[in-house]
Amino acid sequence: MYFLLNQNSTPTDLGAINPNTTVLEWLRNNQLVGTKEGCASGDCGACTAVIGEIVTNNKSSKVEYKSINTCMALAYGLAGKHLVTVEGLAEEGKLHPSQKAMVLENGSQCGFCTPGFVMSLFALYQNKNSVDLHQINETLSGNLCRCTGYKPIIAAAFSMFNEKSDEPLDYYKKNQKNITKILGELNNPKHISLSYKKSNKTIKYDAPSTINELSNVLINSTSANIIAAGTDLSLEITQSMKEFSHIVSVNQVIELKEIKDNAKELEIGAAVSYEDAASSLISNWPDLGPFLQRFASLPIKNWATIGGNIANASPIGDMPPVLIALDAKLKLRKGPVSRTINLEDFFITYKKTVIQQGEFIESIIIPKPNENQRLITHKMSKRYEDDISAVCMAINITSTNNKPESFKIAFGGMSGIPQRSNILENFLLKNWQEDNIAALSYKVLKEEFSPFTDVRATSEYRLQVSANLIKKTILMYQDQPVENLAEYSQSS
């Protein structure tokens, strides 16, 4: 399996490796140790590198670069891509503008996190011609500096662009055409199927290229673990030291990476990343913009998929409550047969769903909103962004003559599954104008939910904050002046 590495025009062979090997592990095993290992969970950004992939629009192809956490990406997922690490930035002894700016602005202190920051800035340099503070903050959202050196790093980002017009093109811009050609040759669609021998056991890896091939692999395997980005599954490898015996990647399946924006519905393939889906989601539901920003850091959103978030069945996943409130459906497939179900019916109990052996999520289908609908979302977490929710709430309100006709409410963090709140919906329809709506909602929520207590929040906190968020929702619906913290971009 081959990929492009840094400024090498000759493809690099991944070699015979265990399919459970992460990109970070492969790099460090091959003496590319500028990429650091910090948390091994996608939290700190010390392992940040950049992936280049061919994107085709209107029959024109180019390479787009995006930052990723190498600690959570499996090495076999590099096939047909361009991996750029901190070792691949300098050219002919001269620092890349992202490196030069960090030096000039004193952006490095102890230096451990610096390669990750430099790579995030490199991705920004590739994708933008000018930037503002909001874009810089978003770019650096996945990079933590224990030395609290953010101010000079932000200054470095501005400096990098202030000098951009005077700088010669970097290697990757100068060689865009040749890189695109080489990647095009590496991306001949075919089913990749490999086996790795370890002691007396065999570990299998499959990367089908079509949905039919994927169906055949899964229906003939009882031990397959489907992986899209692996931002959750990989944690079992890096944190729990688990080793999967059969990994099936869906990242090459073209049908699962499509977005179909029709007149009445938006259909998102299960392997579409959050960042790739964002523009379609926000264009239909503008209020989702600040909410999506808080989900995770940019490297995670560049890699993580909506389908994977749903299939993981986490009770604290942020997207399922939103999709449930929007009446989303799932298209599931097993062999040649597809079926469509309501998303709210997908989850049974904690980490258990209706999905059958050999079945997989094909797409998520979301009805387009009409002019009488309004989506209001809330996320409560200890950090503003890149943090798991204590409570996530989504409320879809349909109105007639400025009066609610229906409420569709879904929660994350209030039970063992992402769950719709039918009792609360019926209650609000009759009582939404009550002055003591928070206290009344608390009683209803306590009847309908038994939230768990964990390191993020107590059961009582979850009930109280959810009741208060109901009051906040009603005030927002009535266009009362309510401070919305999700609108802040941390520009101060």
Q: What is the CATH number of the domain that holds 453?
A: 3.30.390.50
Look at residues 160, 188, 216 and tell me which one is the last residue of a structural domain: 188
Q: How far apart are the first and last CA of the chain?
A: 47
For residue 492, the model assigns a pLDDT of 40
CA distances from 401 to 286, 293, 372, 395 (A): 22, 32, 9, 19
pLDDT of residue 485 exceeding 60, the answer is no
Q: Is residue 142 a part of any domain in this protein?
A: yes
Per-residue pLDDT tens over the stretch 95-104: 999 999 999 9
> Which run of H or E residues covers position 438?
helix 437-448
Look at residues 188, 219, 253 and tell me which one is the last residue of a structural domain: 188
Is the Cβ–Cβ distance between 363 and 256 less than 8 Å? yes
Phi, psi of 461 (to 5 degrees): -60, -45
> Which run of H or E residues covers position 241?
none
Q: Is residue 339 a part of any domain in this protein?
A: no
Question: In the β-sheet with 201-207, what is the strand arrangement from edge to edge?
Answer: 192-198, 201-207, 246-249, 225-227
Residues 6+ apart with CB under 8 A from 337: none
Give the confidence band of 33 by pLDDT, cuts at 50, 70, 90. Answer: very high
Question: Rounded to the nearest 10 degrees, what angle do helices 114-127 and 97-104 cross at?
Answer: 130
Q: Is residue 431 a part of any domain in this protein?
A: yes
Give the confidence band of 449 by pLDDT, cuts at 50, 70, 90. Answer: very high
Which one-letter amino acid corresponds to residue 259? Answer: I
Rounded (to 5) percent helix, strand, coil in the chain:
35, 25, 40
Q: Which residues of 166-203 are buried (b: 16+ CB within 10 A; e: fewer)?
A: eeeebbbeebeeebbebbeebbeeeeeebebeeeeeeb
CA distance 189 to 364: 24
For residue 488, the model assigns a pLDDT of 46
Provide the residue range defining the domain that includes 479.
373-487
Residue 49 CA, chain-centre distance (Å), reads 16
Q: Is residue 3 a part of any domain in this protein?
A: yes
Is the Cβ–Cβ distance between 288 and 378 less than 8 Å? no
Per-residue pLDDT tens over the stretch 126-169: 999 999 999 999 999 999 998 878 999 999 999 999 988 888 88
Per-residue pLDDT tens over the stretch 273-299: 999 999 999 999 998 988 888 888 899
Taking the CA atoms of 449, 487, 153 and 93 in sequence, report the sign of the dihedral they define.
positive
pLDDT of residue 243 exceeding 50, the answer is yes
Question: Rounded to the nearest 10 degrees, what angle do helices 422-431 and 459-477 cross at?
Answer: 40
Look at residues 162, 188, 214 and tell me which one is the last residue of a structural domain: 188
Is the Cβ–Cβ distance between 186 and 3 less than 8 Å? yes
Question: In the β-sheet with 359-367, what is the strand arrangement from edge to edge?
Answer: 259-261, 265-269, 359-367, 329-334, 337-342
Give the CATH number, domain containing residue 77.
3.10.20.30
pLDDT of residue 214 exceeding 70, the answer is yes
> Which run of H or E residues covers position 460?
helix 459-477
- Would you mind telling me the total number of residues written for the chain in this entry? 492
For residue 290, the model assigns a pLDDT of 87
SS3 465: helix
Is the Cβ–Cβ distance between 72 and 230 less than 8 Å? yes
Count of domains forming the chain: 2
Q: Which residues of 146-158 are buried (b: 16+ CB within 10 A; e: fewer)?
A: eeebbebbbbbbb
Q: Is residue 6 a part of any domain in this protein?
A: yes
pTM of the model: 0.92
Structure tokens that stand for 96 in this block: 């890349």
Q: Is residue 5 a part of any domain in this protein?
A: yes
pLDDT of residue 384 exceeding 80, the answer is no
Is the Cβ–Cβ distance between 46 and 113 less than 8 Å? yes
Q: Is residue 224 a part of any domain in this protein?
A: no
Q: Is residue 45 a part of any domain in this protein?
A: yes
> Which run of H or E residues covers position 415?
none
